[in-house]
Amino acid sequence: MRAALALFAALAGAPSVAAQDDVLPDAGAMNALAAEVKKQSWYPDGYYDVRLAAEAQVAEAPRSPQAYLAACAEGGTCFDPVDPLPLRINPDENDPAVRRYGNIALTVSRLRQALKQTGYSTAVYAKPLDTYERTLLGSATNGEASDVEVTAARALTAAIEANRKRSSPKLPPVIAYDAAAAVVYTVVARSVGPSAKIYPSGKKLAKGELIRLRAGDRLDLLNAGNMRTISGPGVYKAGELGAQPTAAVPTRRASTGAVRGAPPRASFVTSPPNAEIWLVSAFAFRVCQRKVPDPWDRLGCRWTEIQTGANKPLSGRFIYQVRWPDGTVRKGARDIAPYDEVRFQKVGS
């Protein structure tokens, strides 16, 4: 997996029932991003569609600005290039271009939008980010080792910081890659309750920082490869929570994306039973919207059939179409998390 600027995080929790919804990816909004992200002459075949899909994926769920900022070693606030909760493709994607380039596109898109949201101009970040992207694409194409990515990440942060000093010295300094990667934060992975705005997903908490929760609050916190859950009311210290991990985060090899150990799985059922379930990731669906006239074409878009009763190691947002024996079809989108019971109903939600 290409993740020089990102740490892998998997959300895990108690079993739940995920609800159906009908919010589908907006092809128009994705195509509008083409005005900001131009196709480059050095893009490999198929990559531009993947890149625009990644831009749309990141834009669909914007992070709080707090997720991109951290304390500078010398005091003040700095831009942190390392994403502790990166978006990642599913390792079993059917589209070869998505498998090869999806994580690169997501990393670059997240960085571009984070830098823009923080206030940096394209004069500060555009050329360094292009160089970084081109290096990662070359590494993916040639199968080079992941140390190429680390070298590229170091060059990226150094170049952006040099440009910032020259043209935008009042903006937050950019932490050097090695310094950013060495810091271990407690990170809010999921937040529910009245304090969710204070502790949004992606917020970094320094060791010893007080976490004040009210009744009804629940935080899933990622620290040192483990997910921990705390609930309110109460006061906790980040990094010293004392709670038992709810799940260990699977570790991944940077060069292949293979997961070691048994990943958590979601189960799939239909009501009434005996329906066909077809899924494609929201990311791959977006790519397909760019490539074919009808993204609901199961063959044209490489949909995957899921057997009812099956347990699958899937996580993220998926597009579904379910067909019952009487011909009834339901289509929509679902957020699927580890340990979910994913239930599709013919009527209702």
pLDDT tens-digit profile of 171-194?
999 999 988 877 777 888 788 889
Specify whether 31 is located in the same domain as 84: yes
Same domain, yes or no, for 73 and 148?
yes
Q: Can you give the pLDDT at residue 142?
A: 56
Instruction: Locate the DSSP E strands across the chain.
Output: 16-18, 69-71, 77-79, 186-192, 204-205, 210-213, 218-223, 226-231, 234-237, 245-248, 266-271, 276-281, 304-306, 311-312, 316-323, 329-336, 340-345
First to last CA, the chain: 35
Please tell me whether residues 154 and 197 are part of one structural domain. Answer: no
The whole-number pLDDT of residue 97 equals 92
**Domain shared by 120 and 81, yes or no:** yes
Q: What is the pLDDT of residue 52?
A: 96
Which residue, of 181, 200, 228, is where some domain finishes?
181
336 and 199, same structural domain?
Answer: no
Under-70 pLDDT residues of the chain: 1-22, 141-146, 224-225, 240-264, 339, 348-349
Model-wide pTM > 0.85: no
In a domain, residue 256? The reply is no
- Look up the domain containing 107 and give its range: 26-181
Asked, for residue 228, whether it belongs to a domain, the answer is yes
- 181, 210, 229: which is the final residue of a domain? 181
What local confidence, expressed as pLDDT, does residue 294 receive? 93
Of the residues 126, 146, 181, the one at which a domain ends: 181
